[in-house]
Amino acid sequence: MSDKTYGFETLSVHAGAAPDPATGARAQPIYQTTAYVFDDADHAAALFNLQTVGFIYSRLTNPTNAALEARLATLEGGRGCTVASSGHAAQVLAIFPLMQPGAEIVASSRLYGGSLQQMKNTYPKFGWKAEIVDADQPDNFKRAVTANTKAFFIESLANPGGVVSDIEAIARIAEDAGVPLLVDNTLATPYLCKPIDYGATLIVHSTTKFLSGTGTSMGGAVVDSGKFDWSKSARFPSLAGPEPAYHGLNFYETFGDMAYTFHSHAVGLRDLGPSQAPFNAWLTMLGIETLGLRMERHCANAAKVAAHLEKHPAVAWVNYAGLPSNKYHQLAQKYLPKGAGSVFTFGVKGGYDVGVKVVDGVELFSHLANIGDAKSLIIHPASTTHRQLSDEQRVAAGAGPDVLRLSIGIETVEDIIADLDQALEKATA
């Protein structure tokens, strides 16, 4: 594509892909191969020394994955991207270049329960610590910073509670602290929000969700803005110091604003090995082609369902930032002007027992642990995704005993509402 500025929907279809030069195939090919033939010994040596760009082994790079990486970097307004096998793999890959034993990150308490579990129980096994703070008050990040802090971590639109983070305010604090801001943009997608425009350094995605859009393909991604100066302090020796595995190469000196992305492939994927399958990357590329269209319908349906539930006699409360009554509505208007997403929570009168009965009573909705599908999905987080947390942690994460999480699909909205009505009626009869 030329240097002309294209619209989001055009880039969703064309960025990162072109007719195959070997065959003329218009669809992106699936390069289902483990390895690639070298031109000669010198070519092989140059590839392994990072002196030239090319393909060596599909754990590191793959042409299908590279096309997806180019598309995601373009849509997020980033400099480079690395795709991974899942969203959780992407989170580990994202902070891996920043961390070392004793290092800390400051993370929002309003995160997906699995992410909180990863940070509180798994990261310490690497010698990493996560300080969890309430992101509703950005100054909490400032108060939590220590000499060992390496990054801040938030979700632009939090799962499951629909909490909207004040990205710009937290980004300013991160900049003052000299650390990157990582934003999980899974629920919003770049169609609704571009955190890099508000000062974020790194974007994390579970591509399994809205980007794929069909519930068929596991994957994750890390997008680098290319705007952080890794050499400004001595905090990030992996990126701005000698790398022993490459004869002392300094990634930031050598690759500049692509240092982080090169490191994620050459060291992160090489040593941790969370590579995305080319077939999943191909399916995700197809999904992204309709991302804008789907997100429009997702958001329109979710707004109507949330407004209906807000008036339902069996419903105690609805937490959807698209509602004028919501405490995050003003932030949503700033960061999510096209819509507040399609994942939100509501509380049922009667608590835990009624919540379980609702998920057992739906007919159109699917009761499962996923979001971002074209189909409408429902789950009771306290008994599933957040059950590993304590009662206090569940409440803090927006997953109390009465909470139901909806991921509103693209079906006819009247059918979605009717299914919830009949399930609520049965559960409270």
Domains of the chain: 8-287 (3.40.640.10), 293-428 (3.90.1150.10)
Q: What are the residues whose beta carbons fall under 8 Å from the beta carbon of 107, sequence distance 6 or more?
A: 115, 116, 119, 130, 131, 132, 133, 152, 153, 154
Mean pLDDT of 381-394: 77
Confidence of residue 290 (pLDDT cuts 50, 70, 90): very high
pLDDT for the residue 1: 55
pLDDT one-digit tens code per residue, 155-175: 999 987 789 999 999 999 999
pLDDT one-digit tens code per residue, 171-211: 999 999 999 999 999 999 999 999 999 999 999 999 999 99
177-209 b/e (C-beta count within 10 Å ≥ 16 → b)? bebbbbbbbbbbbbbbbbbbebbbbbbbbbbbb
pTM of the predicted model over 0.85:
yes
Confidence of residue 101 (pLDDT cuts 50, 70, 90): very high
258-273 b/e (C-beta count within 10 Å ≥ 16 → b)? bbbbbbbbbbbbbebe
Look at 40-49, 154-163, 258-267, 353-362 and tell me which has the smallest mean pLDDT: 154-163
pLDDT one-digit tens code per residue, 118-169: 999 999 999 999 999 999 999 999 999 999 999 999 999 998 778 999 999 9
User: How far is CA 158 from its chain centroid?
Assistant: 10
Question: Hey, is 84 helix, strand or coil?
Answer: strand
Mean pLDDT of 266-286: 98
Mean pLDDT of 210-226: 97
pLDDT one-digit tens code per residue, 292-301: 999 999 999 9
